[in-house]
Amino acid sequence: MSENSVSNSLFDLNGKPSIQRSFPIALQHLLAMIVGNTLPALVLANTLKGTEFAVSSNESVYIIQAGMFIAAIATMLQLYPVYKVGAKLPVVMGVSFAYIPILIEIGLKYGYGAVFGAEIAGGFVAIIVGLFIGRIRKYFPPIVSGTVVLTIGLSLYPVAINYMAGGAGSPLYGTKWNWIVAIITLAVVLLCNMFGKGIVKLAAILIGIVAGYIASLIINSTVLPGFMNFSNVVSAEWFTYPHIMPFKPEFKFSAVIVMSIMYIVNSVQAVGDISSTTIGGLDREPTDSEISGSIVCNGVSSVIGGLIGALPTATYSQNVGIVSMTKVVARRVLALTSAMILIAGFIPKFGGLMMSIPQCVIGGATISVFAQITMNGMKLITSEELSIRNSTIVGLGVALGMGITQVPASTEVLKATYPTLHMIFTSSPVIIATMVVFFLNIILPNKSLAEEQAERDEMEQ
């Protein structure tokens, strides 16, 4: 191809295609990430509603908007690095579901200040991990990282089910109308995922939420007035901008430790997303500097996010899938996506509209996301041999992680005597599972299926 054709190519990393050619792909990326970027803030706000740490509707709307700001900033840094911050790859960043179990536990115990304080501390941990990722990557093989991802998915199921029922504490909790809307939402998501093509498939969750929202409007206007609340849309302003420390960060030791562990795990998981991006879009493995820059970028964006009131970020796997499927790697395309995300961040009415979505709709949409997280963990696990050794690591990690946290009475003595240790070890199944699989992977001798079979054959002789 001529130099001019290459410079305008959608399939060249440094290509500069026109806005007309870039817009359809940029819109796909936006539709794939927009819902996931806003839902964690909604989940956390609704979970803390009615507690001493609940925030006002306007503050909840701002946290959603701050999430849009930080997603735009982080994505732009990944595309166009500053010094060593960023991968210079077509990567989309956004607020991550993976942190929700930890955010909920910290929020319920200490409030939003501790959430953002732990996020800032975790961001610095991610920066350090990014600079030294080559040395610690070997300690997080697929059998370890996969078990962690699997546990994240499993731990989120109760959250989704409670939302499908209307949200714990809601006066309409468990009513048939919540379940009807939740099932309609889930059914539309599944139909779009299984039978849709192009944008319909990529925006399955968004389309499902729209369908659930319409069903809720019908119920609200016909059989159950009050099923929806539009006060946040009405009261939200038309324009906002990022504020420095809208919530004063609080650095609670136990919260910082728990969040730091999550950032280490998430940093290792980012290696998979970066690898998928380069293999799927550029037909090559990522370089060490690209992996390092990506993780450092996540750390920097989290520090900034904690200061402006945005929740923790991560690379978005669904957008990695778009890159792999379309082979469109021109950074200018994703820069256009970043610009659209940023514009949405300046408009609080967008956050107010998101706040008006009934919790049953959120539950119906997110349960499929949580299911996909679980299956992604299983895929990672099964990418290695399921030897007795590996099966033991996975089984014990999930059993102890899920089991201990589901039996609160088993840790009451620890809670009464050492509340900080209780927070660290039992705040989420993910933390216990991470610790168990991490240390078992180091301690247990690494034996393949063939070696284990050889041992059995030797015993038969």
Q: For residue range 77-93, what is the model confidence (pLDDT) as tens digits?
A: 999 999 889 999 999 99
200 contacts: CB under 8 Å, gap ≥ 6: 192, 207
Q: What is the model's pLDDT at position 413?
A: 63
Q: What is the model's pLDDT at position 4?
A: 46
Q: Does the pLDDT at position 2 exceed 60?
A: no
Phi, psi of 307 (to 5 degrees): -75, -25
Q: Apex CA 347: angle with CA 343 and CA 352, to 5°?
A: 135
Q: What is the DSSP letter of 383?
A: T
How many whole angstroms from its chain centre is CA 353? 21
Distance (Å, whole) CA 205 – CA 309: 25
Q: For residue range 217-254, what is the model confidence (pLDDT) as tens digits?
A: 898 888 888 787 777 677 767 887 888 888 999 999 88
Q: Apex CA 445: angle with CA 444 and CA 447, to 5°?
A: 125
Q: Does the pLDDT at position 166 exceed 80?
A: yes
Total residue count of the chain as it appears in this document: 461
Residue 334: closest CA among 107, 25, 4: 25
Distance (Å, whole) CA 437 – CA 423: 19
Yes or no: say if 97 and 368 are a contact pair by the CB < 8 Å rule: no
Yes or no: say if 368 and 189 are a contact pair by the CB < 8 Å rule: yes
420 contacts: CB under 8 Å, gap ≥ 6: 253, 254
Q: With helix as H, strand as E and coil as C, how does 15-59 read?
A: CCCCHHHHHHHHHHHHHHHHHHHHHHHHHHHHHHCCCCCCCCHHH
Residue 216: closest CA among 181, 240, 250, 165: 181
Would you put residue 135 in left (φ > 0), alpha (ψ -120 to 50) or beta?
alpha
Structure tokens at 7: 């410079």
Q: For residue range 79-138, what is the model confidence (pLDDT) as tens digits?
A: 999 988 999 999 999 998 778 888 988 998 899 999 999 999 999 999 999 998 878 778
Q: For residue range 285-307, what is the model confidence (pLDDT) as tens digits?
A: 788 899 999 999 999 999 999 99
Q: What sign has the CA pseudo-torsion 158, 161, 163, 166?
A: negative
Residue 62: closest CA among 32, 77, 48, 42: 42
Burial of residue 115 (CB within 10 Å: 0-12, 13-18, 19+) is buried
Distance (Å, whole) CA 200 – CA 191: 10
